[in-house]
Structure 1
């Protein structure tokens, strides 16, 4: 095919919606060669427990069959474990997929979605896919949500407001009083999404979990998002869920694809949710590593916020790319946000040691 014909054929291809060109690209760790240690994706470096692996094996033997229509087995397990009605739960292929369905149900052209920035980088992608406008409210100087500014950003056209706690990538956590205050300020027509993907790693995880669930009764516009990708170690299988008022959950269920949670992921999630000992061990390992790495970095003169996640945020500004390169030179991948900082996943002692060697070489350069 000559160049003229190729150009003509390309010009005749179907054109996507204009908004596709505006979508930001989800970042990935730099480097050309696979690193020895991955500290870039907030994955668990620990393998799933025997109970989870057995559940995966059993489910895989029946993969010729469709999964449950709406993650029914996982919904039932969550209902029992969390003490909420099954009608309040929507399960899906990760909390990201559930958030996409939530925004599909409630946002769209002519509406706005407010969230802090920097926060989870998928938010603007999902919001713009709906045709809504994303309103990014800068974090405060302490790397925390500026809740007053976020409340001020809400208008009659705001469809949703997203709170990420612990915030990705800064790790900062919203306290109980802060949540109560922001919820009291947000109008009833606005869906308030509390993204708790990392809640299990907070120092008071059980209290935080129960407190946020208790808020649902007084705030029917609140939606809580959680995932099995982080503390439960199932990032490769994709399972997550939301908890909300039954009416809101029904609207999200209406736009969710049937059989959206595959059978292997569902079986693994149910087993992981029930295996509380494995969860506790994983969380303890992360918390220990987080404290040790935080103290070691602080001793080297780096000012970083306290984190409630399985990661630390190094706000090194314009040096972010240089620090990432130093880490790659020591065979450890991290997540760099150009001009802002570097996020480092904790959990693996070997990876944490490599990060410290990287920081030392970067500081000495």
Structure 2
């Protein structure tokens, strides 16, 4: 120590340096943590099945696997605009290619929407995003990260959106509304009449996102088709994905569809190279052989119907599901049921004190699920 240094000052400086730790933005402490579906426990004598992530239990169609195996230019960056995929989607959906913006899954496409249209005003006031709750658990995380505020509207008793309450929650700070149909994790879907009635109450400067991640599993003819709606309403953006029906969850490829007045801004916020060329080729192959995709989806819908019928026979009361999953409104018994399923080598997704979401899986997995429901005495509606 030099003669000019004071030991007390040195200690103070060291203490101050220790206090100056790297800290995240304050919003991080307020955000919920995303909980991915856990893999099943290994139980001797039982084949484990994962029913916790709404994954397609079936592999992609052979043409998709061939497209993946033939990809050799992974040392090169992909086309940032996913031109070939947007061209194929244009044909498939009968929409202009310029109306499509790709993203890393539908969640990646949603992040681009929120970053573009919801955040904070010039004076620092937080914009508001209105959505039903419970719904996709990534919503509040991504909204908070964008700088906007969540306005959660409690679902109706049957697990469906309370559109009247959502419309009543709109104000001058509302920038985006999220409609999840079919709703994850509860299952009900919105009808065309319901959505159009709701849109009539929404100011034209508010973006309405119709999240249709599970649209291929819908069989009710009254359920809304977002593509038809966006063609009539310039403030509507449709979200879709290749993760579920097409079985490409690992490749992360989704997209939004909206009018050029919106896509021109979304392209600015789009993450460069978010969709790999491997994912793009796989998605194109799946679209070109969509008849085979439909066959696989129908087999899962048939299994969903079997599971729903089986639960009904057992006296279980559950919401109508138009997705590839069912919702068990178990309330305080949610974690207990999940633990019970785990003992049978089945992983399911529990939402504490609310319910359990169970994905439609392999035939044997679904049969085992029904079997354990038959032995579980605390099911909703069971007396």
**Fold in common (TM above 0.5):** yes
* TM-superposed deviation, 1:280: 1.0
Contact 1:29–1:334 (CA<8 Å) still a contact in 2? yes
Q: Using the alignment, how far apart are the partners of 2:286 and 2:17 within structure 1? A: 50
In the other structure, the counterpart of 2:54 is: 42
Residue deviations 1:243-301 (CA, integer Å, cap 9, x gap): 00112111111011221111111111111122112211121111111111111111112
Contact 2:41–2:343 (CA<8 Å) still a contact in 1? no
1:291 pairs with one of 305, 323, 340:
305
* TM-superposed deviation, 1:20: 1.1
In the other structure, the counterpart of 2:100 is: 89
Q: Using the alignment, how far apart are the partners of 1:221 and 1:260 within structure 2? A: 25
SS at match of 2:250: coil
* Pair 1:26–1:162, CA change in 2 (3 A): same
Contact 2:118–2:127 (CA<8 Å) still a contact in 1? yes
Larger Rg: 2
SS at match of 2:231: helix
In the other structure, the counterpart of 1:54 is: 66
In the other structure, the counterpart of 2:269 is: 255
> What does residue range 163-242 of structure 1 map to in structure 2 within 5 Å?
163-204=179-220, 211-242=225-256
* TM-superposed deviation, 1:11: 4.1
2:163 pairs with one of 134, 138, 147:
147
In the other structure, the counterpart of 1:104 is: 115
* Pair 1:89–1:31, CA change in 2 (3 A): closer
In the other structure, the counterpart of 1:160 is: 176
Contact 1:201–1:231 (CA<8 Å) still a contact in 2? yes
1:264 pairs with one of 278, 283, 292:
278
2:330 is the counterpart of 1:319: no
TM (norm. structure 1) is 0.93
Q: Which runs of 5+ in 1 are unaligned?
A: 1-5
Residue deviations 1:215-260 (CA, integer Å, cap 9, x gap): 2232100000000000000001110000001121111110112211
Greater alpha carbon shift after TM alignment, 65-74 vs 320-329: 65-74
Residue deviations 1:113-171 (CA, integer Å, cap 9, x gap): 00000000000001000111000000011211000000000100001000000000111
Q: Using the alignment, how far apart are the partners of 2:213 and 2:40 within structure 1? A: 29
* Pair 1:174–1:329, CA change in 2 (3 A): same
SS at match of 1:236: helix
In the other structure, the counterpart of 1:3 is: none
**Structure with the higher fraction of residues in helix conformation:** 1
* TM-superposed deviation, 1:26: 1.1
2:317 pairs with one of 278, 288, 303:
303
SS at match of 1:185: coil
Contact 1:322–1:362 (CA<8 Å) still a contact in 2? no
Q: How many residues of Structure 1 are paired with residues of Structure 2 in the alignment? A: 357
Greater alpha carbon shift after TM alignment, 196-205 vs 125-134: 196-205
In the other structure, the counterpart of 1:75 is: 86
Q: Using the alignment, how far apart are the partners of 1:31 and 1:254 within structure 2? A: 37
Contact 1:323–1:358 (CA<8 Å) still a contact in 2? no
Q: Using the alignment, how far apart are the partners of 2:220 and 2:58 within structure 1? A: 22
Q: CA RMSD in A?
A: 2.0
In the other structure, the counterpart of 1:22 is: 30
SS at match of 1:148: helix
Q: Which runs of 5+ in 2 are unaligned?
A: 1-13, 121-125
Contact 1:70–1:260 (CA<8 Å) still a contact in 2? no
In the other structure, the counterpart of 1:33 is: 41
Residue deviations 1:24-79 (CA, integer Å, cap 9, x gap): 011234578357101110001111111000111112x1111111112111111101
* TM-superposed deviation, 1:364: 7.9
* TM-superposed deviation, 1:204: 4.5
Q: Using the alignment, how far apart are the partners of 1:308 and 1:162 within structure 2? A: 18
